[in-house]
Chains A and B, each alone.
Chain A
Amino acid sequence: MTPMPVLATLRGLLKLTWLEIKIFVREPMGLIGNVVIPVGIFVVLGRAVGSRLGDLTSGFATQMRVGLPVFGAIFIAINTVLSLVAIIAIYREGGILKRLRATPLSPITILVAHVLVKLIFTAVTVTVMVLVGRRYYPAGTDVPVVSFTFAMLLSTWSILSLGFIIASLVRTARFAPPLGSLVLYSMLPFCGLFRPIDTFPDGMQIVARALPLTPAVSLLSGIWQGNPWSAHLGDVAALVVVFAVCTLIASRVFRWE
């Protein structure tokens, strides 16, 4: 297949991305679910425990200082992926994917546009969360916001590729989000978010370390605590591997109609 010229592809990508952003904003539920709710939960939890952190024992305070933001970040990432799964399923069921595919837009361009939209809204959510959170949550004042946002985007980007596999396996738009939730949320207890992976039994540790959420949690916690990126090269590599493997599988099983 002769490729579309680079400039035209870029123009199509930007146009479609901008269009999908506008369409996303027009759907109130999408905006509420992806931006308002995560920020709201963060603020409520932050107000409830944030001001009392100083009085608490150090172990729990650390848990709250690091665990809560990372949990928030993972929650946003999962939401983002679920929203991608839903939109791909709806677009496929409605024949929209097929319609777009029968244009000079390459299939990759169409999917990349959706990933971009999701990453942009993830960045918006994280930024709003940090800005709002600063007022209620003392731990937020000295965190490396830019680095954390970048770690967040990297994690989301990696897990999005898992979303494409889920979107391919589900036949109907109605079952895509529940199955996505099941897959993603069932990883939560095992990815080191609530309990360090070292404390799991040996067999469980292997499973936990293989989960795509695990390097994301490790990276986010480390960056939030001020670790340099060089301390998390393994996590970054793992996220890239997750992306590569999932994308390879998705490209084999992805269905346009």
Chain B
Amino acid sequence: MSGAPVFRVSGIRKTYGDTIAVDEVSFEVPGGQIFGLIGPNGAGKTTTMECVEGLRKPDRGRIEVFGLDPIKSAHALQRRIGVQLQEAQLQKRIKVWEAIDLWASLFDATVDAEGVLDQLGLSDKRNAWFMTLSGGQKQRLFIALALINDPELVFLDELTTGLDPQARHTIWDLVRDIPARGKTVFLTTHLMEEAERLCDHVAIIDHGRIIDHDTPAELVARHCPQRSVIVSTTHPEAASHFDMLASVDTVTRVDDQLTIRGHGADLVTETIHCLSEHGMRVTAFRTEEPTLEDVFLTLTGRSVRE
């Protein structure tokens, strides 16, 4: 399944009036993984995704999904993709099973509907009206609808926005299972934690342009190589001992707490080694790894939440 790209976006541009939503965006996504397009609100994530889904036509550029044009081959592609739209709603008084049943009737081949409901924890809600579902249940229903035709490629747009942490974790567990069945997931999120937990690859988009893309770990290593070890010790010589270590850049001390900043995978090992070598008594020890949040800050000079 993996290897050949499932879809490829080449130099697309989309404007709404004077606003350039997406500009010269290019990337490709290999099969069998979770790919995330991440960035702040209004960065162009949804526009890009909706172009790939065939819901919007880019002003310029090319998109191929399974080698097909998403607009010209919309019908052929609809059987192979599953879509969850950002902030979508259904009819207020549609029942859960009716939505599943309608969607299932639109495709020749579908997975077992009861099985999907069960798997997404919606079995006891099958007769509930859409308007009575919680935010998390609604999103689980939308995932169910996106999976009903056993698609090869699943689109998830801001899936957990507005959900409480518990509902969010439930959804993450469900999404993580999707590639295990040989499917590819294309998701957008402005939550860096979500991207880190779910995505095999991410592309960071800001002001309609892709700034960089790679695995989350590679992006962090490339843009935020510095990590920190924070130890609490009363040892008077501690700071100067740590300063001597090869991978250490700076050591700062606030009362008994020392923050040791440095590069490379050996920083933690070297610090621990140094502690035992000098017989320092340590009352607290933790490490701080940079995250995609830091990568975004480094690349744009802004926090993703701003």
Q: Which residues in A have some Cβ–Cβ distance to B below 8 Å?
A: 1-4, 8, 11-12, 15-16, 19-20, 22-23, 26-27, 91, 94-96, 98-99, 101-105
Contact = CB atoms under 8 A, between A and B. Distances in A.
A91 B179 CA distance: 33
Interface of A is mostly: helix
A27 B88 CA distance: 21
A229 B103 CA distance: 42
Contacts of A99: 85, 88-90
Interface string B88-123: 111111100010011101111000000000000000
> Can you list the 10 inter-chain pairs with the closest CB atoms, starting with the nearest?
A94-B89, A26-B93, A99-B88, A2-B75, A95-B88, A104-B78, A104-B106, A23-B93, A102-B83, A15-B105
- Majority SS at the chain B contact face: loop
A99 B305 CA distance: 28
Interface string B61-86: 00000000001111110110001010
Given A11-B105, A19-B98, A104 B79 contact: yes
Given A95-B85, A99-B88, A12 B105 contact: yes
A159 B46 CA distance: 36
B75 A16 contact: no
B107 A104 contact: yes
A8 B106 contact: yes
A22 B72 CA distance: 34
Contacts of A103: 78, 103, 106
A2 B76 CA distance: 7
Nearest to A3: B75
Most buried by A among B75, B79, B87, B107: B75
Interface residues of B, number: 29
Contacts of A2: 73-76
Contacts of A20: 91
B245 interface: no
Contact of A105 (B89, B98, B101, B106): B106
Contacts of A23: 91-94
A42 to B, nearest CB: 28
B20 interface: no
Contacts of B94: 19, 23
B98 A22 contact: yes
B53 interface: yes
Given A1-B71, A95-B88, A101 B55 contact: yes
Contact of B90 (A1, A8, A22, A96): A96
A1 B75 contact: yes
Nearest to B72: A1
Contacts of A101: 55
B75 A4 contact: yes
A95 B79 contact: no
Nearest to B105: A15
A135 B71 CA distance: 58
Given A1-B73, A95-B85, 13 more contacts: A1-B75, A3-B75, A12-B105, A12-B106, A19-B102, A22-B98, A23-B94, A27-B92, A95-B87, A95-B88, A99-B85, A101-B55, A102-B55
A96 B99 CA distance: 12
A11 B90 CA distance: 20
A8 B108 CA distance: 9
B178 to A, nearest CB: 18
A64 to B, nearest CB: 40
Contacts of A104: 75, 78-79, 106-107
Given A12-B105, A19-B102, A104-B106, A96 B72 contact: no
**A4, A95, A98, A99, most chain B CB atoms within 10 A:** A99
B93 to A, nearest CB: 4
20 contacts: A1-B72, A2-B73, A2-B75, A2-B76, A8-B106, A12-B105, A15-B102, A19-B102, A23-B93, A23-B94, A26-B93, A26-B129, A96-B89, A98-B85, A98-B88, A99-B85, A99-B90, A101-B55, A103-B78, A104-B78
